[in-house]
């Protein structure tokens, strides 16, 4: 059966990653969380005090960062940086508070997009992020753009963090996702936009299971579609 590329973009905490992960598992596709890559770069930049305004320093730092994904014992994909599992560290608020700024940097975007294209060269991939349908895989067979009410998004993110034993108050989360949405949508390099051929999905009143069923149904009809 022919393999396709599925791009899932949208605002923070709309359920992109959860949907992408489950859709990939059902189709037997690879799942890549592009946001985890920007989060890992942010971790490296903060830990190594990289100046965000010095292109040479940024290029040098990027050349030192090797990112990969490996399945953990729960069949979920963990992000590794230079051979070390950084999955837990990159989900902390310290990273959420800095990642959108780091993601505006041209050199960072070029390096990540090139790695993402390599990961997706054989298709059979579900990738979620902000510019996957618009920049990384403009020819993806299925493109989705997720939105949801901001209060619902903040609540869902709080629950997600709680499951990882991280208690963060709702106002902190709300202010963080509002800031990130603004920076992501207004940056110069590949801003968060809905690609012309992306299908919009408002997930405010939809459960994850319904969302996953809908995307799998769309993916199967694309897979069966004769070129």
Binding site for ligand CDP (CB under 6 A): 12-13, 17, 34-35, 38-39, 99-100, 103, 129-132, 180, 184
- State the minimum distance, in angstroms, from the CB of residue 132 to ligand CDP: 6
| Residue pair 23/29 in contact by the 8 Å Cβ criterion | yes
- Comparison of 13 and 212: residue with beta carbon closer to ligand CDP: 13
CB nearer ligand CDP, residue 4 or residue 154: 154
Cβ 165 to ligand CDP shortest distance, Å? 18
| Residue among 4 and 157 whose Cβ is closer to ligand CDP | 157
Shortest Å, Cβ 34 to ligand CDP: 4
Shortest spacing between CB 223 and ligand CDP, in angstroms: 24
Residue nearest to ligand CDP (CB): 35
Q: Of 17 and 77, which CB lies nearer to ligand CDP in the complex structure?
A: 17
Count of C-beta atoms within a 10 Å radius of residue 2? 12
CB of 15 to ligand CDP, least distance (A): 9
């Amino acid at each position: 059966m022919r393999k396709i590329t599925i791009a899932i973009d949208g605002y923070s905490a709309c359920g992109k990653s959860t949907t992408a992960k489950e859709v990939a598992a059902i189709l037997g596709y690879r799942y890549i969380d592009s946001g985890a890559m920007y989060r890992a770069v942010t971790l490296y930049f903060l830990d190594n005090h990289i100046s965000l305004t010095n292109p040479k320093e940024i290029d040098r730092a990027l050349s030192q960062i090797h990112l990969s994904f490996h399945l953990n014992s729960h069949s979920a994909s963990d992000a590794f940086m230079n051979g070390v599992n950084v999955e837990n560290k990159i989900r902390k608020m310290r990273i959420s508070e800095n990642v959108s700024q780091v993601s505006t940097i041209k050199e960072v975007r070029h390096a990540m997009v090139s790695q993402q294209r390599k990961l997706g060269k054989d298709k059979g991939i579900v990738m979620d992020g902000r510019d996957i349908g618009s920049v990384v895989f403009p020819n993806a067979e299925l493109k989705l753009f997720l939105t949801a009410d901001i209060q619902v998004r903040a609540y869902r993110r709080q629950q997600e963090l709680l499951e990882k034993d991280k208690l963060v108050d709702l106002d902190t989360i709300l202010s963080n996702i509002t800031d990130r949405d603004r920076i992501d949508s207004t940056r110069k390099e590949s801003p968060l936009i809905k690609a012309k051929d992306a299908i919009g999905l408002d997930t405010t009143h939809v459960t994850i299971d319904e969302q996953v069923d809908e995307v799998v149904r769309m993916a199967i009809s694309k897979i069966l579609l004769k070129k």
